[in-house]
Chains A and B, each alone.
Chain A
């Protein structure tokens, strides 16, 4: 019953306001975390066995009658579901303490669960129009969550995010309409078959351009990134973690990859465009991150840069490139969520996000400092952490495909990444303890526990990388490589 991934969060979200009347804190905490835990276990155990023979399409049966709801599960969607529920659970655990001072936890959890349902729906649909609607479900919930603090900055950032996201949705919808106009179909498989039988190269090119613009905005690739550096820092820390760690990947990278590789087919021209967009994002965002004083803003720019690596790997289109891109998606989801959560812990303890005002916090917040170091080193690509292996795979894939310049860019930008993450560490955690922070205490239990889990995951993904790649990333890659056959044939691979 993979419909559970959509139905359970929606049903619990609908019940939460009523439950919130009975118990303002404990029950909403337990229910929301319970949903994430159940879905994580379901993805890890049942989902894995369901696709043991390859991808499946399940039809919903209601009271013994089949309903016209079809859900598809393959290696790629299961890998994404696993990532979403795993990181989502840690974020939800963190919210137990962090969201206390925001009030109305029931509504917060309801919005978080609706966003989860939207992301899960997007991962399971078999139809282009359903991609659009579930994209909107997740997006509407995220606008409200960004503005949850109700301050001036939060509301302004949310409005900017809404406006740019609406433009992105309009382009995505226009591309879907064009495909429907050309093929008379919206299903992934039937639309792909319809497009193969047509000689409409320019129209497909236009659809691709609209999709790149729309999903590029959702994924915040440069030059479509303007909303992200405002929206992600303004949101409450757990929401920044979900937006940077999950939402831009699901509504940007996943949707883009699924449509380009499974519907339109990755052509050499598309591959080149994606690689250029990826490389530009990697470099430009890394330089922009370097100049930031606000820790969350620095992390937001870093997200754009790391998404660039993922697009560079997937855009390359070779099996190894896709593998590296997907593995980096997982590593970045875990490490960036960890860093955003830690920035929330620092902000809650000190009341500031300005790196210049921090200093020596490791003495007062050792767990936060330790896990931050692990997350930073993983994203920067330091061995033996997960980020090192994923970046290494991307670089090897680029070299194998004779893209020497892109490989060099990936390596040099990684050094730049290490530089600005070491700056964060030095300015926030090391050096003399600022007198103002003498009374600062470590974050509360659930906040610390969730960051420790994410830190351990960063280490585990590095040490057991072959196991993770074999069990989760390779099945995901295999679900996609068929779509890159045209490109591979052109490249003679």
Chain B
């Protein structure tokens, strides 16, 4: 339990740091470490597949994409931010934490044992047999992402 709380605390702190630090490279690294800790937390909570995906995709692949993008783009002066942004986030975060704590307190003891639910089973069964329709939607998400890149990075001809 102590390990779980320590990992969860680390995830929260590093996520907050990712938002608050000004340097986007440092923000990307904070996010990657937060994601790594979340992945470990998944392993500790007996969700190895979620852990593998979290660490390989979010902590690994997406971080590489962020860092490559940061390396390829030029800094063009500081972006001005209005002062209220510095107030709104901590305020929102405190409200969120309060709601989250109350929610979790109310949920403890009421959560049914999900493994025995009709939608349980092994990971493979759950993904390929139980959630087949989600995979169709995933194809839609991938298509949308690919075509969005094609649209946003297209070359415009002279007559346009």
Contacts and interface: CB of A to CB of B under 8 A. Distances in A.
A149 to B, nearest CB: 10
A185 B118 contact: yes
Given A182-B111, A206-B103, A10 B151 contact: no
A107 interface: yes
B8 to A, nearest CB: 16
19 contacts: A14-B143, A69-B132, A70-B133, A102-B160, A104-B154, A107-B154, A111-B144, A111-B148, A114-B140, A114-B144, A121-B137, A129-B131, A133-B137, A144-B152, A147-B151, A183-B112, A185-B117, A186-B119, A202-B106
Interface in A80-116: 101-104, 107-108, 110-111, 114-115
A100 to B, nearest CB: 9
Contact of A150 (B117, B134, B156, B157): B156
Contacts of B111: 181-182
B26 interface: no
Nearest to B140: A137
A421 interface: no
Contacts of A140: 141, 144-145, 148
B138 interface: yes
Interface residues of A, number: 52
B107 interface: yes
Contacts, number: 121
Contact of A184 (B117, B134, B152): B117
A141 B139 CA distance: 13
Interface string B119-160: 100000000011111101111110111011011101011011
B64 to A, nearest CB: 21
B47 to A, nearest CB: 14
Contacts of B79: none
A196 to B, nearest CB: 15
A143 B145 CA distance: 10
Given A143-B148, A186-B119, 5 more contacts: A13-B147, A104-B150, A130-B137, A185-B117, A206-B103
Contacts of A130: 133-134, 137
A185 B133 CA distance: 16
A107 B140 contact: no
A493 interface: no
A118 interface: yes
B71 interface: no
A391 to B, nearest CB: 36
B110 interface: yes
Interface of A: 6, 10, 13-14, 17, 67-70, 101-104, 107-108, 110-111, 114-115, 117-118, 121, 125, 127, 129-130, 133-134, 136-137, 140-141, 143-145, 147-148, 150, 178, 180-186, 190, 198, 200, 202-203, 206
A225 to B, nearest CB: 18
B114 interface: yes
B140 to A, nearest CB: 4
B137 A184 contact: no
Which residue, B137, B148, B160, has most C-beta atoms of chain A within 10 A?
A: B137
Contacts of B160: 101-103
A59 B111 CA distance: 30
A181 B114 CA distance: 8
Contact of A141 (B137, B144, B152): B144
Contacts of A14: 143
B143 A13 contact: yes
B147 A137 contact: no
A203 B106 contact: yes
Contacts of B112: 182-184
A244 B114 CA distance: 40
A110 B110 contact: no
A180 B94 CA distance: 25
A389 to B, nearest CB: 36
A69 B136 contact: yes
Nearest to A122: B137
**Which 7 A-B pairs give the minimum distances between C-beta atoms?**
A144-B148, A184-B117, A137-B140, A140-B144, A133-B137, A184-B112, A68-B132
Given A68-B129, A181-B107, A10 B156 contact: no
Contact of B119 (A17, A102, A178, A185): A185
Nearest to B148: A144
A315 B137 CA distance: 30
A107 B106 contact: no
A338 B71 CA distance: 45
Contacts of B114: 180, 184
Most interface-central of B117, B140, B143 (chain A CB within 10 A) = B140
A436 to B, nearest CB: 24
A147 B129 CA distance: 37
Contacts of A129: 131, 134
